[in-house]
Amino acid sequence: MRDVTDMLLFQQLWKMNKPILGICRGFQFFTVALGGSLYQDISELFNTNVSHQQTPPYSKPAHTVYIEDNSLLHRIVQKNCIEVNSCHHQGVKKLPKELKPVAYAEDGLIEAVTSQEKSFFLGVQWHPELNYQVESSSRLLFEAFVKACMNGE
């Protein structure tokens, strides 16, 4: 039932060009909703030695994410790389044509996407809601999203 509700909401927000920020499952959800695919279990299907499933505390960084210049994410955090937490066993395998990768983990796994067709559309694989009190880049993500919502972008 949740997937059906999420799909209806996502389709309306996408069609209306409303601001969208997807975090972890949300990021994975709209990747699939737009026609992409996921690695169902990173540790079995993607050759990596990066810790994508850290143990608590989840507010601590687990690995580095490298950010593309001139991307929405780069404009928000004003950095080429950030340290992020990581609590997922799935990851993007194939992106739909509507999305563009804008950040990667050290192992090449896509960690953030955006859409050049939309005013504010950002998906991140990590959990900024778990460390925004101590990590400025996480706080900046939420501030940018709220500002986009308030401006009707």
The answer for 24, left when phi > 0, alpha when psi is -120 to 50, beta otherwise, is left
Determine the Cα–Cα distance for residues 110 and 108; give it in Å rounded to an integer: 6
User: pLDDT tens string for the chain (153 positions)?
Assistant: 888 999 999 999 999 999 999 999 999 999 999 999 999 888 766 677 787 888 899 899 999 999 999 999 999 999 999 999 998 889 999 999 999 999 999 999 999 999 989 999 999 999 999 999 999 999 999 999 999 999 976
Q: Which of 120, 111, 3, 5 shows the shortest CA–CA distance to 48?
A: 111
Determine the Cα–Cα distance for residues 16 and 18; give it in Å rounded to an integer: 5
Query: pTM score, two decimals?
Result: 0.93
Q: Output the pLDDT for position 153.
A: 62
Domains and CATH numbers, the chain: 18-150 (3.40.50.880)
